[in-house]
Amino acid sequence: MRPATAVLMVGLPGAGKTTRARHLEQHLPALRLSPDEWMTPLYGDLFSDLVGDPQAAGKRDVLEGRLLWTALRAAEQGLNVIIDFGLWAREERHALHQLFTAVGARCRTEYLAVDPHTQLARVRARAARTPGQAFALSAQDLARWREDFEEPTAEELAGALPPAAPPPHRSWAAWAAARWPSLCDTHADSIG
């Protein structure tokens, strides 16, 4: 049996991650997991975590953790997976690379860069095309998020092994369980 491939989709809103992920889903083929497609059906609001709704705090993290748990199980069984989360933080990508490798999958990072002008135009067009399904983001929101985004390094894109997990975490699995609390279960603990 061939090892599964896990593709980590990385980029800012409007970069084209989901369009590319849908293409890969058909051509690999693969199971594509995107929290954006689950937030509204489960919680009634795609971006409630982002706008300071105290009732929604952490819902996206819980959802992402369960989607990752599903992706790890699928990869372990030889099914290709696409993680369409955005994965802005380098540590998130390091942890997922380690977790997927630990279950026997090949892991690659697919980064889609986008310039600020194109990003704003795409985000506005999406909000107009799908009212109620896309959040109206301002140029200021996008600029602030761009500052938070950690662009992948050349080594990361080439598939270099991640460094050791940062203290106080004993492993990337422990780091991931802290980042995505619903991932913390026997499966996550056993890989790391």
Rg, Å, the chain Cα set: 16
Length of the chain in terms of residues written: 192
DSSP state of 153: P
Residue 6: phi and psi, rounded to 5, are -110, 125
pLDDT, tens digit (0-9, with 9 covering 90-100), for 57-73: 588 888 999 999 999 99
**pLDDT at site 87:** 96
For 125, other C-beta atoms within 10 Å of its C-beta total 12
Q: For 72, left (φ over 0), alpha (ψ -120 to 50), or beta? A: alpha
CA-nearest of 41, 24, 102 to 68 is: 102
Q: What residues does each domain of the chain span? A: 5-115+150-187
Residues in the chain where the model's pLDDT stays below 50: 50-51, 190, 192
Whole-prediction pTM: 0.88
**pLDDT at site 190:** 47
For 105, other C-beta atoms within 10 Å of its C-beta total 23
Residue 83: phi and psi, rounded to 5, are -100, 100
CA distances from 2 to 16, 62, 77, 107 (A): 29, 31, 10, 13
According to DSSP, the residues that pair with 108 across neighbouring strands are: 7
Class of domain 5-115+150-187: alpha beta
Where do the DSSP E strands lie in the chain? 5-10, 31-33, 81-86, 106-111
